[in-house]
Amino acid sequence: MDAVERANQERAKKWTKEAKIGEGTYAVVYRGREAATGAPVAIKKIKVGQFKDGLDMSAVREVQYLRELSHPNVIKLLDVYSSKANLNLVLEFLDSDLEAVIKDRSNVFLPADIKSWMAMTLRGLEFCHRNWILHRDLKPNNLLIGANGELKLADFGLARDCADPGSKLTSQVITRWYRPPELLFGARFYSSAVDIWSVGCIFAELMLRTPYLPGESDMDQLKTIFRALGTPSEEDWPGHTSLPNYVTLDHFPKSPLKLLFTAASADALDLLGKLLIYEPLRRISAKDALHHPYFFALPYPTHPSKLPKTTVPMAPRELQEEANGLGDRTVTKPGRSLKRKASDGGGPERVARSAARRLEF
Amino acid sequence: MVTAIPSAVPNDAFSASPSHSPYEASTQHKHWRYSRTALDEQRASLNSAAVHVIRNAFEIDDPGSSNAISFLSPADEYLLVKLYISKVGQLCAHFHMPEVVEATACSYIRRFYLRNTVMDWHPKNVMLTAIFLASKTTNHPIPLEQYASHIPNTTPSDVLDLEFLVAQSLGFEFVVWHAHRALWGIYLDTQTLPDISFHTIHDAYIASVAHVRASRLSDAELIYTPSQIALACFHIAAPVLAEQWAKAKGESDVISLLPAISDMILQEGKPPDLERVREIDKRLKICKNPEKVVGTKAYLKKQAEEEAKAKEKREKKAAEIRALEDARDPFGGELDPEGAAKIERAKQLDEDDD
């Protein structure tokens, strides 16, 4: 037997699967344990054999970024091994997620609790951005919560690096309700600011206990945003009218956030406003957000172990129609010319919509 | 130490952990760095283990037959691998793939042969798979059919069959930090130095790019950091400018390291002599592992062993479920929910890995 295959089997033996906790067409998730210690883990088995292009892009992304990232607020990829034609990702086991906690009506959130979740989310995100990685699917459902109350960013199936400012990206990312206006207008060059908008939506949801901007279609999403925050003027967001999918929409007036978020402190509203600035370049960064006075004012964030939890067991995650199974591909066409492209990633990205379904975990 | 992408990483980004750059947290820094000696030892031990296995396989096929075979030496293996690394650029250019795909594929091949031997897996096939995998991991995927159809005598399954093995051999560590990116950072940085014309800088950059490409044919990336290699290449092209940059960065110490890197790039950074490689490839046809050659006795024996093992596993699982069913209350699920649940669990368990 080859050394590589032997090493793989050694790794596989370190983990045992106990029960299936979720299934999709692309992956099955098991609750499992580390054989030596009995410590609980989650094992995500990705069916590889069925893809005609081999290892699936979202699996590749998840593995490649989680392999590099190590931070208390980012889910840990403990191991990777293969079994037959399947890829097994051994992940830290976390029993709940922020969506379940928000939905549990028996929970009462104190302002300090919200501050704690926000701090953990932004710390994890700042770390990703510092490593030039965009998450591109932040939502309460992807913020997992451990038994000790710690929050961790999970599901990196849509993540990608953003170190090269010239590369064209797909605008078909981020679950609609958390998607920023520049993506809804079809922007193909964007930055870490897209994740920040999602964090703004999550912040608002934590205060409202219901999704803040629940649009019913992409078009309706823009309307929902503008109804809540006012239609942007050229001054608010220079150049937005020249984005690829720009459409003129009804003019909604701006109204102060205070009207809806009646219980929020002035600091909280100021941070929320900065997370939801229309112009991506002026939207606050994760790092600056962590230095915002909100985090230094009383009440201080609740210790993770004292945060509200949910007793409702985490339901197997629903399967979502993935907007872009292939994500941002630059489909390269063969040709006779031996000329190289001028820069990395300068090619056109084809946004391919695929029917591939993805298991959210 | 010089950081990996000098200008792309502002200093304040380190404020949270001043002693570690993002590069130092990378899997490349943690798992793919060697000293010259360690690298040579790794290749030598891989080679002798492979020869041992293959000798035995030959003996199974035909006792006494292994004596006449001239096995490849570690140096032979390395030359063959190097030849195929030197061909990556051509193929990537044909598909208009950007430089990051080419550089990543080269690293994948180099890393693959720190875990495998050419006597098991021929570098031609590994090269094709490495490029295909690199196109995905760098966000420039190409449909497999299209890829394979443009390469003579290659079917999609030739590429796909090795994908898993390559991914495994890389430890699923797909992210590679490249010298050409670091060089781009130096290029941008030098433009902020006073009193240097853009032409001087640009000419130096263009000359350095050629050296960075040559460096991919050397072991430099397994021994030095991408930024060190980039600076060495820049130093070959424009020594004064390179030293000025290092001084401006407060990294003058690094200059003393550069000659060793430059020597390595200038000496090793060219494709191997084709005649030599042809001779090696000829010998490889004879000494490749018969377990990997369809139809040989060694191959059939290995297949049979694997099939027997899989069968044993399946039977074991079926027996377990039967035992549970026997132990269960015969009057059915509702009266014995625990037993039913146990059986359900056993059935659900992943048959891939009991």
Give chain A's domains with CATH numbers. Answer: 96-306 (1.10.510.10)
Shared domain check, B308 and B276: no
CA dist B124 and B154 (Å) reads 11
Higher pLDDT: B292 or B175? It is: B175
Structure tokens at A290: 């962590």
Is B145 within the bounds of a domain? yes
Mutate which: A53, A81, A90, vs B, most B CBs within 10 A: A53
Let me know: does B81 contact B268? Beta carbons within 8 Å: no
Give pLDDT tens digits for A252-278. 999 899 999 999 999 999 999 999 999
Let me know: does A153 contact A142? Beta carbons within 8 Å: yes
Domain count, chain B: 3
Helices (H) and strands (E) in chain A — how many of each? Answer: 9, 14
Strand partners, A23: A28
Backbone angles phi, psi at A350, to 5 degrees: -90, 125
CA dist B305 and B316 (Å) reads 17
pLDDT > 70 fraction of chain A, expressed in percent and rounded: 85
Shared domain check, B168 and B194: no
Q: Which of A112-126, A208-222, A336-350, B245-259 has the lowest mean pLDDT?
A: A336-350
Give the model's confidence band at B322: pLDDT under 50 very low, under 70 low, under 90 confident, else very high: confident
Strand partners, A33: A16, A40
Which pLDDT value is given to residue B145? 93
Shared domain check, B144 and B45: yes
CA dist A31 and A35 (Å) reads 13
Contacts A–B by Cβ distance under 8 A: 146
Min Cα separation A300/chain B (Å):
21
User: In terms of DSSP bridges, do strands A151-153 and A143-145 run parallel, antiparallel, or are they unpaired?
Assistant: antiparallel
DSSP string, A273-286: HHHT-SSTTTSPPH
Structure tokens at B308: 């027997």
User: Which 8-state DSSP code applies to residue A7?
Assistant: H
The radius of gyration computed from the CA coordinates of chain B, to the nearest angstrom, equals: 26
Could you tell me if residue A291 is left (phi over 0), alpha (psi between -120 and 50 degrees) or otherwise beta? Answer: alpha
Distance of CA B1 to the CA centre of its chain: 25
Give pLDDT tens digits for B41-76. 999 999 999 999 888 888 877 787 778 888 999 999
DSSP collapsed to 3 states, chain B: CCCCCCCCCCHHHHCCCCCCCHHHHCHHHHHCCCCHHHHHHHHHHHHHHHHHHHHHHHHHHCCCHHHHCCCCCHHHHHHHHHHHHHHHHHHHHHCCCCHHHHHHHHHHHHHHCCCCCCCCCCHHHHHHHHHHHHHHHCCCCCCHHHHHHCCCCCCHHHHHHCHHHHHHHCCCCCCCCCHHHHHHHHHHHHCCCCCCCHHHHHHHHHHHHHHHHHHCCCCHHHHCCHHHHHHHHHHHHCHHHHHHHHHHCCCHHHHHHHHHHHHHHHHHCCCCCHHHHHHHHHHHHHHCCHHHCCCCHHHHHHHHHHHHHHHHHHHHHHHHHHHHHHHCCCCCCCCCHHHHHHHHHHHHCCHHHC
Say yes or no to pLDDT of B87 above 80: yes
From B104, B150, B96, B143, select the one nearest B127 (Cα to Cα).
Answer: B104
Min Cα separation B255/chain A (Å):
27
Shared domain check, B236 and B281: no
CA dist A161 and A132 (Å) reads 5
Residues of B in contact with A337 (CB under 8 A): 96
Is B2 within the bounds of a domain? no
User: Which 8-state DSSP code applies to residue A239?
Assistant: T
Give the model's confidence band at B320: pLDDT under 50 very low, under 70 low, under 90 confident, else very high: confident
Shared domain check, B156 and B252: no
CATH code of B249's domain? 1.10.472.10
Shared domain check, B318 and B190: no
Is B246 within the bounds of a domain? yes
Shared domain check, B240 and B167: no
Whether B96 and A332 lie within 8 Å, measured CB to CB: yes
CB atoms within 10 A of CB A68: 21
Say yes or no to pLDDT of A357 above 80: no
Is B240 within the bounds of a domain? yes
Per annotation, catalytic residue among A97, A137, A195, A328? A137
Is A328 marked active-site?
no
Which pLDDT value is given to residue B13? 36
Let me know: does B222 contact B32? Beta carbons within 8 Å: yes
Q: Write out the residue range of the structural domain in which residue B118 sits.
A: 28-176+272-291
Strand partners, A22: A29
Backbone angles phi, psi at B330, to 5 degrees: -65, -15
Strand partners, A27: A46
Is B14 within the bounds of a domain? no
Which pLDDT value is given to residue B294? 66
CA distances from A289 to A73, A182, A250, B157 (A): 16, 20, 31, 49
Window B:257-316, CB contacts with A under 8 Å: none
Say yes or no to pLDDT of A288 above 80: yes
Shared domain check, B122 and B242: no
Amino acid (1-letter code) at residue B114: L
Shared domain check, B183 and B171: no
What is the arithmetic mean of pLDDT over A15-38? 87
Is B23 within the bounds of a domain? no
Hey, is the C-beta of B173 within 8 angstroms of any chain A C-beta?
Answer: yes
Say yes or no to pLDDT of A345 above 80: no
What is the arithmetic mean of pLDDT over B308-320? 80
Shared domain check, B347 and B228: no
Nearest-CA residue of chain A relative to B29?
A: A68
What is the arithmetic mean of pLDDT over B77-86? 96
User: Which 8-state DSSP code applies to residue A313?
Assistant: P
Tokens 């699967």 sit on residue: A17
Higher pLDDT: A335 or A243? It is: A243
Give pLDDT tens digits for B128-154. 999 999 999 999 999 999 999 999 989
Tokens 């694997």 sit on residue: B306
Is B8 within the bounds of a domain? no
Shared domain check, B53 and B156: yes
Which pLDDT value is given to residue B269? 94
Mutate which: A344, A350, A351, A354, vs B, most B CBs within 10 A: A344
From B42, B44, B48, select the one nearest B71 (Cα to Cα).
Answer: B48
Whether B139 and A30 lie within 8 Å, measured CB to CB: no
What is the arithmetic mean of pLDDT over B259-288? 93
Across the interface, of A2, A334, A338, the residue whose CB is closest to B150 is A334
Say yes or no to pLDDT of A21 above 90: no
Is B6 within the bounds of a domain? no
Min Cα separation B237/chain A (Å):
21
Nearest-CA residue of chain A relative to B14?
A: A130
Q: Which of A84-93, A225-234, A288-297 has the lowest mean pLDDT?
A: A84-93
Shared domain check, B171 and B61: yes
The radius of gyration computed from the CA coordinates of chain A, to the nearest angstrom, equals: 21
Min Cα separation B306/chain A (Å):
10
